[in-house]
Structure 1
Amino acid sequence: MTRPPDTVTRAAGPGPAPATAVLRRRAETGLALRLARSAAAPEGARPRTEEVTGWLAERLRAHRFRVDRIPFADLEDWAFAPESGNLGHRSGRFFSVEGVGVTVDRGPFPHWQQPIIHQPEVGILGILAKEIDGVLHFLMQAKMEPGNRNLLQLSPTVQATRSNYTRVHKGADVRYLEYFLGPRRGRVLADVLQSEHGSWFLRKANRNVLVETDEDVAPHEDFRWLTLGQIGRLLRLDNLVNMDSRTVLAGLPTASTEDRHARALHTDRELLSWITTQRARHEVRVERLPLAGVRDWHRTPTAVERADGRYFRVVAVAVEADSRETADWTQPLIEPTGRGVTAFLVRRIDGVPHLLVHARVEAGLLDVLELAPTVQCAPENHAHLDPADRPPFLDEVLTAGPERIRYEAVHSEEGGRFLNAESRYLVVEADPGAPQEPPKGYLWVTPGQLGALAQHARYVNVQARTLLACINAGAVDSL
């Protein structure tokens, strides 16, 4: 992949590449091959794949977990500010719920206002890797999040906000944090700041990092070593691998990022130019507003919501979780009002699989837009619109027969901030009769090109990274 435009390169004189550069390229090639072996080895160290769901069920029974909806008045350490109405924590840390006003230059909704989560601190999503019997394994955690419908899912080794790992809540230390902070105790395989949900977070980013260790790391009873192939099988199951695991796995330097982009419909340089052009042609204005003044939204004792019931609501919960750093707490969450549909259309062009990406504008993104799946919406929110204003390709995805579906599973979004937020994720063969030239704002790219961009900040959105993780782990059929 050519270097993205925000990367500095130095001119090289004539002659062979420096030895350090050659060694670096060899190391990266070796890593891609090791990842391929891990993806092809679904049965690694115990537990075997079929035992993982049983282990998760056993960990669910072993702990005390409970989540109850509560009125805002029962929130502890959280309150609405008297003047702005913003909902924040008394420490000033963690996050707050505020308002934004958004103006865009195209689409059926050129102006709107909404609540949004403001969480300026950068958290860590870290996965620890280690070779076991010659195969790369990943240390995954059975972690409870209050917003998950089934509470317990497979998460990264470390999944913590800065407020959590600096113990603002005065809770226990985060296990295995020492591999991702402070003096290095392993080799960094991937490390990048990535955005999160641009419709619900305001300019939120987390550090996605993968570290390989040679140390003998004994897993705690809530952790297990799994191969990439095992994780791929688990990604075919509903609500099992959480969002934070998926976004880290999307940044793996797999063989597809090194090979397939060479046979793409568009060169890497053309792709980067297209992204820059899309960002330049859109005019987006985002203004922070007091939550109390957000138009079309109102506050009740139990929710901040719209009168028409669309999009989402802000609610409050009380949580008990004896496996977490703090055993009980209260907090606000965003609850979507419908299940999302998130899908890539895929087609072979000159024999090479290509995904149809969308240059999607979202109010909370730092760089206007990022590459998103072909379809990303909650269909119920668009049912009242004229067909011309509905998201392109939505009907093609919703009506696709089983013979065209290469991947399908329901996955939870970020369970630490969103309540019962689920999307039906799909990879669907494009209509063979459809023209190869997509509409404006859409482009055919290879999985390798998308994967190479995911190794850099602010190019690939979190929903596209979920589907990319499924591809990297071998969960998608015939791709």
Structure 2
Amino acid sequence: MSNHIQKNSVSSKFLKSAYATISNGMTDEDVLGWLKAQNEAVEVRVHHTSFSRLDKWGYDQQRQCIRHDTGRFFSIEGIHVRTNWGYKSEWEQPIINQPEVGFLGCLVKEFDGILHFLMQAKIEPGNLNKVQLSPTLQATRSNFSRVHNGRTPAYLSFFQHAKPHQILLDQLQSEQGARFLKKRNRNIVVNVAGDIKPAPNFIWLTLGQIKSLMKYDHVVNMDTRTVIAGLPYGNYEKEVVSLFNHLNEGRPNTARHDFLTSTLTGEGSLHSIDEIISKITHLKSQYELEITQADLKSLDEWVYSDTEIYHRDRNFFRVIPVEVEIGNREVRSWYQPMIQPAQEGLCALVCRRINGLLHVAMQLKMECGNHDVVELAPTVQTLTGNYKSSRPGGVPFLDYVLNVPKEQVVFDTMQSEEGGRFFEEQNRNMIIIVPDEPAQDAEQDSMATLPYYEALYGQLPEKFVWMTLNQLGMFLKFNNYLNIQARSLIAAISF
């Protein structure tokens, strides 16, 4: 058993940190109090202004988009989409084009044998509650290249000069596929030694503390969630998994047991990795996604004004120009365009034990900004339309999620999207574990009357697949397999 754990040495350190929910005597309430103090210490002002007043930003006649004078940071462009996926084969929309690969990075260090993550209390202009827990480093190439003439981001050099043996995680992961055009960031975790004194708005937290704080609305930001989602926990034999589950006897929780076993067990899944890859490959080859540039001022069904760019039916989202003042940023004031949603969204993972092992119904979803047509998404993901007014059966499994009994819900919070580009965008995040078997008298079960109910116990629709958490962890090692909404939910899973 010890040799098996040794082979998973880095993974076991992450797992050990995930179990540690209190460090240095700090409870969730203590960290929340620290965040509140950080919030009160900084003045933040975000004003809706006009495009004509955006300093250093403007409409580029040649490129037919809104861009920064330097040509860096990002641009708001128009695209024309053609696809044979779904009910709508062609449309136009604005999208963020930011080809730079930025850093989303955490420094980690062992204290008393437990890995701690250096977290930042960071303010973004679009955050609902101003301050959220961010990775150690959250910066685009334009930011850390100091195109804005501001200060160099704190701790940047630790990531730029990290030695191979220090890098515990290194992945390229996608951003929101409906908002960004093929955007990716480098998700990286670097192990450091020696004394590192946290700056005033930084704090050392265990992985367990970060996960615990995700049960509160709008505390852990999207960039933190995508980094910790990719952390490996290793593959273990049954007796080792039983040992880890034994550690949970002091805080019995069936969901924690199921999550841990599904995460650490490499055998017993309904489908093999090869079968899942074949299914994804089949869909990628069967469906097409063609993106061409369009004039931002002349998009079909979109209105371009000096104060906003919006859909004529006031659906989906709008682009707004803002003036920002934040006291503790590398640059204290600036102008920029932002994306504001028309409504909140809903993202949910629906899980079920199959042959005693927890599986997740993952959706294969096409979004116009995807690198390679489809990515694995949550069972339910509704971000660009009002899910509360959707017709019954219009979105697979949505009716089940909205009517699910409370005892099946193991996670339910409001989480923010990335606040540097999105203005006050929030999504309800849910994780649900359905019973192993349908109700004995299904005709009298109110859930049985909902569309797609039977699919949870029979054959999933074509664009869905059952996967264990261990399998999802394997796919997270590679680029462009799991979308950011799926990663956000995976990050919330605790043991």
Task: With the length of structure 2 as denominator, give the TM-score of the two structures.
Answer: 0.87
Deviation at 1:154, TM superposition (A): 0.2
Query: 1:298 aligns to what SS in structure 2?
Result: strand
What percentage of aligned pairs have identical amino acids?
A: 41
Amino acid in the other structure paired with 1:412: S
What does residue 367 of structure 1 align with? 372
1:64–1:186 Cα change, 3 Å: farther
2:379 counterpart of 1:400: no
Q: Which of 169, 179, 187 is 1:200 aligned to?
A: 179
1:244–1:25 Cα change, 3 Å: farther
Deviation at 1:147, TM superposition (A): 0.7
What does residue 456 of structure 1 align with? 478
Query: 1:364 aligns to what SS in structure 2?
Result: coil
What does residue 489 of structure 2 align with? 467
What does residue 342 of structure 2 align with? 337
What is the CA–CA distance in structure 2 between the aligned matches of 1:161 and 1:106, rounded to whole Å? 32
Deviation at 1:82, TM superposition (A): 3.0
What does residue 200 of structure 2 align with? 221
What is the CA–CA distance in structure 2 between the aligned matches of 1:134 and 1:251, rounded to whole Å? 22
Q: 371-380 or 106-115: which moved more?
A: 371-380
> What are the superposed Cα offsets for residues 235-259 of structure 1, whole Å, 9 maximum, x if unpaired?
1110000000000001101146873
> What are the superposed Cα offsets for residues 268-292 of structure 1, whole Å, 9 maximum, x if unpaired?
1212222211211111211121211
Gaps of 5+ in 1: 1-23, 475-479
2:404 counterpart of 1:391: no
Residues 15 and 233 in structure 2, CA contact (< 8 A), matched pair in contact too: yes
Amino acid in the other structure paired with 1:439: P
What does residue 209 of structure 1 align with? 188
2:391 counterpart of 1:412: no
2:146 counterpart of 1:190: no
What is the aligned residue count? 449
Task: With the length of structure 1 as denominator, give the TM-score of the two structures.
Answer: 0.90
1:26–1:443 Cα change, 3 Å: same
Q: 242-251 or 179-188: which moved more?
A: 179-188
Residues 45 and 132 in structure 1, CA contact (< 8 A), matched pair in contact too: no
Deviation at 1:38, TM superposition (A): 1.0
Deviation at 1:260, TM superposition (A): 2.0
2:313 counterpart of 1:308: yes
Deviation at 1:85, TM superposition (A): 3.9
Amino acid in the other structure paired with 2:484: V
Q: 256-265 or 44-53: which moved more?
A: 256-265
Query: Where do residues 42-441 of structure 1 align in structure 2 (5 Å cutoff)?
Result: 42-45=21-24, 47-82=26-61, 84-182=63-161, 184=163, 187-255=166-234, 259-378=264-383, 380-381=385-386, 387=392, 390-430=394-434, 432-433=437-438, 434=454, 435-441=457-463
1:150–1:276 Cα change, 3 Å: same
Deviation at 1:436, TM superposition (A): 3.0
Amino acid in the other structure paired with 1:465: R
Q: 293-302 or 221-230: which moved more?
A: 293-302
Amino acid in the other structure paired with 2:492: C
What is the CA–CA distance in structure 2 between the aligned matches of 1:301 and 1:93, rounded to whole Å? 22
Amino acid in the other structure paired with 1:77: K
Gaps of 5+ in 2: 235-259, 439-453
1:398–1:81 Cα change, 3 Å: same
Q: 316-325 or 440-449: which moved more?
A: 316-325
Deviation at 1:185, TM superposition (A): 8.8
Deviation at 1:106, TM superposition (A): 3.2
Q: 44-53 or 220-229: which moved more?
A: 44-53
Amino acid in the other structure paired with 2:283: Q
What is the CA–CA distance in structure 2 between the aligned matches of 1:206 and 1:289, rounded to whole Å? 25
Deviation at 1:184, TM superposition (A): 2.7
What does residue 9 of structure 1 align with? none
Deviation at 1:27, TM superposition (A): 6.1
Query: 2:363 aligns to what SS in structure 1?
Result: strand
> What are the superposed Cα offsets for residues 139-174 of structure 1, whole Å, 9 maximum, x if unpaired?
000000001111110000000000000000000011
1:46–1:161 Cα change, 3 Å: farther
Residues 188 and 210 in structure 1, CA contact (< 8 A), matched pair in contact too: yes
Deviation at 1:323, TM superposition (A): 1.1
Residues 179 and 186 in structure 1, CA contact (< 8 A), matched pair in contact too: no
What does residue 477 of structure 1 align with? none
Q: Which of 467, 476, 481 is 1:445 aligned to?
A: 467
What is the CA–CA distance in structure 2 between the aligned matches of 1:190 and 1:362, rounded to whole Å? 26
Residues 84 and 291 in structure 1, CA contact (< 8 A), matched pair in contact too: no
What is the CA–CA distance in structure 2 between the aligned matches of 1:25 and 1:334, rounded to whole Å? 48
Residues 77 and 295 in structure 2, CA contact (< 8 A), matched pair in contact too: yes
Amino acid in the other structure paired with 1:443: V
Residues 260 and 449 in structure 1, CA contact (< 8 A), matched pair in contact too: no
What is the CA–CA distance in structure 2 between the aligned matches of 1:134 and 1:239, rounded to whole Å? 30
1:385–1:421 Cα change, 3 Å: closer
What does residue 11 of structure 1 align with? none
Query: 1:263 aligns to what SS in structure 2?
Result: coil
